[in-house]
Amino acid sequence: MKGNAALGQLVRYAVVGIASNALLYLAYLAITAAGLEPKLAMSLLYALGVIQTFYFNKTWSFRHGGTHGPAFVRYCISYGLGYLFNLAALYLLVDRLGHPHQIVQGILIVCTAALLFLLQKLWVFRTDTSTPATTTTPSL
């Protein structure tokens, strides 16, 4: 049953991610073609993606019943880590090694999504299965 739940989360997460990233990638191509620098374009669209996907991932993908505040803080931290990964990879692969940014960013979407799924599954929207153990002391 646990494997089915994780698979369901992954499928729902993928649907949210594919829809969001398809729109954001098209926007990325459009605004870089209009002259905006690739890392700045990625940065602006990344922030937009964080905001638009939080609600869907919390309520639908992971069906997390916890409060919004703490989950949103963890979500932003995880996306901050994903952002740094994406930015560093763009710098290395585009600026230093000269690969085309359109292809690199397309591949990075998938790599960053995998990293973010793991962070969300294991940390942001984790289900706390641990319950405080009650200890009883024998009466004398």
At residue 67 the predicted structure's pLDDT band, cuts being 50, 70 and 90, is confident
Q: Please determine, for residue 48, whether its predicted confidence score (pLDDT) is greater than 50.
A: yes
In a domain, 132, yes or no: no
Whether residue 134 has pLDDT greater than 50:
no
Average pLDDT rounded to a whole number, residues 94-105: 95
Model-level pTM? 0.73
In a domain, 136, yes or no: no
In this predicted structure, what is the pLDDT of residue 140? 45
Classify residue 130: in a domain, yes or no: no
Res 135 pLDDT > 70? no
Residue 50 in any domain: the answer is: yes
**Domain-located, residue 137:** no
Question: Rounded mean pLDDT of 34-44?
Answer: 93
> Is 98 a member of any domain?
yes
Q: Say how far apart CA 74 and CA 80 lie, in whole Å.
A: 10
28 domain-assigned? yes
Residue 138 lies in a domain: no
pLDDT of 123 > 80? The answer is yes
Range of the domain at 23: 2-124
Q: How many domains does the chain have?
A: 1
